[in-house]
Amino acid sequence: MNILAINGGEKVRTKPFPAYNTIGKEEEEATLRVLRSGKLSTYLGTWHDDFYGGTEVQALEREWELFFGVKHAISVNSATSGLYAAVGALGIQAGDEIIVSPYTMSASATAALIYGAIAIFADIEEDYYCLDIEDIERKITSKTKAIIIVDIFGGVHDNKRLLALAEKYNLKIIEDSAQAPGVKYEDKYIGTLCDIGIYSLNYHKHIHSGEGGIIVTNDDELAHKLRLIRNHGEAVLGAKGFTCKEELNNMVGFNYRMTEIEAAIAREQLKKLPALIKQRLKNVAYLNEKLSQIPCLKIPKIRENSQHAFYVHPLQFDENIAKVHRDTFIDAVKKELPRTLLREESEVLLSYGYAKPLYMLPMYQERIAFGEYPFNLSDVDYKNVKCPVVEDMHYNRLVTHEFMRPGMLESDMDDVVKAFKKVWEHRDELEH
């Protein structure tokens, strides 16, 4: 224990951490029920009773509406599809601008480009990593039509100020809550706070059906459009009897449909969500208490009047206290710890920062998406984008890990804490 693993000493632990596996008997039975029925999907892309999907798909949607207290839940094959459909339903057009976060999974920004809109990046908040409302306001122009806000890591954005800003400038808001299902801001579920909200059911999320997504809205008209975009809208608008030309805008449909097996699995997963969140919160409380004793680490703040879903557990690293760079310190902690079973077999679930700030992707830097389109509709130069907070977080300060997933016991988390403590105590032995 006295020599750091990175310097040839023994690791704190070699036995892999337990798997996060939420799939059990219930999902197995649900899958068999669908398989035996022979109806793996009953969607039809024409105007018909089956236009809205089969029994499992529709049951999932009604159950989601009840759980989240929202008028419409619309299932799709991924949260990415959900984001694309949301931009379409809001009537976004080529050359419009959408303000997006640079610190998120790429699709939360790419969604703008699909309809020819331009993604404009604003900076994030130091404490919560969500879009900074003041910087959003600085980035608003006469072309701005919408904001895609992300409840990153499972914590909610500054909703009160965002809604006030949206009203002042007449902007629509899409809430990407892929990482924040099942927790509340004031008395409402995160994801239901804006015009349209999106959840993900991919393998890495709190609950999953392999792949999948759910869109939510309280607006009947938007729900109608979202369902059209999901399932070949252009093929049914005539039969449904459209009333005005405006209704045609962006109604070029896709096939974003969820299968019956995915829906049946998602129904069982939804039942498990409250217990899974509770376990995560319990684990986070345990880790917060222990990790806050390490002087160079700052545990996450939680926004007033809100809960946090802790998709990851974000910590802030203080180089001035540690006297080594974050990356050097984290490299050493990683060497002390084992991989985690099942989902990321080969990985130690500990990272420097999160995803690289999105405006640094070659697509933006070189302004090439669909050829030059849609960037040729704008003179935005992503080489000049300055978001100092996100860059400092990503390259110097933020540490994220997933050692709080359900399945981790206190004894497992104790090893995580031991690894951080060992590196803290031996930090002078790290290469500077």
Closest CA to 255 of 231, 274, 279, 238: 231
Query: Is 178 an interacting residue with respect to ligand PLP (CB under 6 A)?
Result: yes
CB atoms within 10 A of CB 221: 10
Query: Is 104 an interacting residue with respect to ligand PLP (CB under 6 A)?
Result: yes
Q: Do β-strands 350-352 and 313-317 pair in parallel, antiparallel, or remain unpaired?
A: unpaired
**CA–CA dist 170, 163 (Å, integer):** 10
CB of 111 to ligand PLP, least distance (A): 9
Among the residue ranges 157-165, 172-180, 302-310, 394-402, the one whose residues contact ligand PLP (CB under 6 A) = 172-180
**In this structure, which long-range contacts are made by residues 237-246, counting pairs with CB atoms below 8 Å and at least 24 apart in sequence?**
239/46, 239/47, 240/47
Tokens of 24: 């059990």
Query: Is 108 an interacting residue with respect to ligand PLP (CB under 6 A)?
Result: yes
Among the listed residues 132, 175, 176, 415, the single contact to ligand PLP using CB under 6 A: 176
Question: Of 78 and 217, which has the nearer Cβ to ligand PLP?
Answer: 78
Among the listed residues 12, 60, 70, 105, the single contact to ligand PLP using CB under 6 A: 105
Query: Is 154 an interacting residue with respect to ligand PLP (CB under 6 A)?
Result: no
Closest CA to 342 of 125, 17, 5: 17
Contact 347, 91 (CB under 8 A): no
**CA–CA dist 252, 270 (Å, integer):** 31
Among the residue ranges 78-86, 220-228, 229-237, 287-295, the one whose residues contact ligand PLP (CB under 6 A) = 78-86
Query: Is 101 an interacting residue with respect to ligand PLP (CB under 6 A)?
Result: no
Question: Of 42 and 81, which has the nearer Cβ to ligand PLP?
Answer: 81
Question: Of 92 and 294, which has the nearer Cβ to ligand PLP?
Answer: 92
SS3 (DSSP) at 197: strand
Query: Is 150 an interacting residue with respect to ligand PLP (CB under 6 A)?
Result: yes
Tokens of 105: 């999974």
CB of 344 to ligand PLP, least distance (A): 15
CB of 199 to ligand PLP, least distance (A): 8
Query: Is 110 an interacting residue with respect to ligand PLP (CB under 6 A)?
Result: no
CB of 266 to ligand PLP, least distance (A): 12
Among the residue ranges 53-61, 73-81, 244-252, 376-384, the one whose residues contact ligand PLP (CB under 6 A) = 73-81
Among the listed residues 107, 263, 349, 423, the single contact to ligand PLP using CB under 6 A: 107
Contact 308, 322 (CB under 8 A): no
Question: Of 79 and 348, which has the nearer Cβ to ligand PLP?
Answer: 79
Question: Of 122 and 322, which has the nearer Cβ to ligand PLP?
Answer: 122
Q: How many residues does the chain have?
A: 432
How many chain residues are in contact with ligand PLP, going by CB under 6 A?
A: 14
CB of 78 to ligand PLP, least distance (A): 3
SS (H, E, C) 227-243: HHHHECHHHHHHHHCCC
36: buried, middle or exposed (CB in 10 Å: 19+, 13-18, 0-12)? exposed
Tokens of 134: 């003041």
Report the run of H or E that residue 150 belongs to, with start and end.
Answer: strand 144-150
Question: Of 100 and 136, which has the nearer Cβ to ligand PLP?
Answer: 100
- For ligand PLP, the binding residues in 192-231 under the rule CB under 6 A are 200, 202, 213
DSSP string, 297-341: EEPPP--TTB-B--SSEEEEE-HHHHSS-HHHHHHHHHHHS--BS
Query: Is 22 an interacting residue with respect to ligand PLP (CB under 6 A)?
Result: no
Among the residue ranges 74-82, 140-148, 339-347, 402-410, the one whose residues contact ligand PLP (CB under 6 A) = 74-82
50 CB contacts (<8 Å, ≥6 apart)? 42, 43, 44
Among the listed residues 179, 192, 250, 340, the single contact to ligand PLP using CB under 6 A: 179
Among the residue ranges 104-112, 232-240, 287-295, 411-419, the one whose residues contact ligand PLP (CB under 6 A) = 104-112
What's phi and psi for 296, nearest 5 deg? -90, 5
CB of 84 to ligand PLP, least distance (A): 10
Query: Is 61 an interacting residue with respect to ligand PLP (CB under 6 A)?
Result: no
User: Which residues in this chain contact ligand PLP in the complex, by CB under 6 A?
Assistant: 78-80, 104-105, 107-108, 150, 176, 178-179, 200, 202, 213
